[in-house]
Homo-oligomer: A and B are copies of this chain.
């Protein structure tokens, strides 16, 4: 009898290990809530069933799908790229904005972003980003930036896709920056990446049309901009939303303010050992209103420290 029970338990554990779609998540309330939600909306006989076309799940990127410290990675890309450009351009090398931006001067950083992001065709810009993602490494973690994506969140993306969801990135980051790696890294195609944008211009050069990036902000996909960006690109309201900072507040609010089953979660950076620990008062990824109101609004906090077995994707 004891042997039989033991065998049964072993078999069950093996079956569980083989089929657990979220192996990097510790068992607990958060993981249970995710799995229950997915089971509820995919059960055709259940009262909470949602048709596949309406299974829209939105994800912030910086701090939700990959790290964002000590600076948004796109800002590091701008600094790295400006340095590389300056090595071939003495006038740029003499520009004081480069040194000031590296020291954290916000206004100088905006100038460096303009220098590296505009007055180029979209194709050239995408090439610049790809070149950087394959070569640059994080200053303290010494990994490629695309290897600083969160393994539990990548499992979550796959799990939702396998259950008929369409997953979308909705980020304050630049849309063309993210599209250069999102399809390969997250399995999310370019048409499901929503982000901030600068103005563009269609131009025919010697008979060949190009899209030129202009040094002027068009749309900021942050705070109130997130529901607007979602509405403009998708045209329907998500049923699940994942963020990490107060920049995601309105996205979670918009997602959870309609009838029917809804899921909203905030990645809480509470793991100083394996990643970074910050929330209120952080200069990046500040989380204050979200912490205060999550409970009352039915949003869950994902504790990096307790809910995740591993943080980063394995190095390639």
Which residues of A line the B interface, CB within 8 A?
A: 53, 122, 166, 175-176, 179, 183, 189-191, 193, 197, 200-202, 204, 208-209, 211, 224-225, 227-228, 231-236, 250, 253-254, 257
Contact = CB atoms under 8 A, between A and B. Distances in A.
B202 A235 contact: no
Nearest to A227: B202
Contact of A232 (B175, B224, B253): B175
Contacts of A254: 202, 209
B235 A179 contact: yes
Contacts of A225: 202
A228 B257 contact: no
A228 B202 contact: yes
Contact of A175 (B208, B235, B257): B235
Contacts of A227: 202, 209, 211
Given A200-B231, A202-B225, 20 more contacts: A53-B183, A175-B232, A175-B235, A190-B234, A190-B235, A191-B191, A191-B233, A191-B235, A197-B232, A200-B228, A202-B224, A202-B227, A202-B228, A202-B250, A202-B254, A209-B227, A209-B253, A209-B254, A209-B257, A211-B231
A216 to B, nearest CB: 14
A204 B193 CA distance: 26
A121 to B, nearest CB: 11
Contacts of A179: 235
Contacts of A236: 190-191
A257 B227 CA distance: 35
B234 A191 contact: yes
A193 B209 CA distance: 23
Nearest to A255: B209
B250 A208 contact: no
A193 B232 CA distance: 10
Nearest to A235: B190
Contacts of A191: 166, 191, 233-236
A146 B228 CA distance: 28
Contacts of A175: 232, 235
A167 to B, nearest CB: 12
Given A191-B234, A202-B228, A228-B200, A208 B122 contact: no
Give 8 closest A-B pairs by Cβ, nearest first: A190-B235, A202-B224, A191-B234, A179-B235, A202-B227, A209-B257, A211-B231, A200-B228
Question: A175, A204, A235, A257 — which one has the most chain B CB atoms within 10 A of its CB?
Answer: A235
A175 B202 CA distance: 21
A197 B235 CA distance: 12
A189 B257 contact: no
A206 to B, nearest CB: 12
Contacts of A166: 191
18 contacts: A53-B183, A122-B231, A166-B191, A175-B232, A176-B235, A179-B235, A191-B191, A191-B233, A191-B236, A200-B228, A200-B232, A202-B224, A202-B227, A202-B228, A209-B250, A209-B253, A209-B254, A211-B228
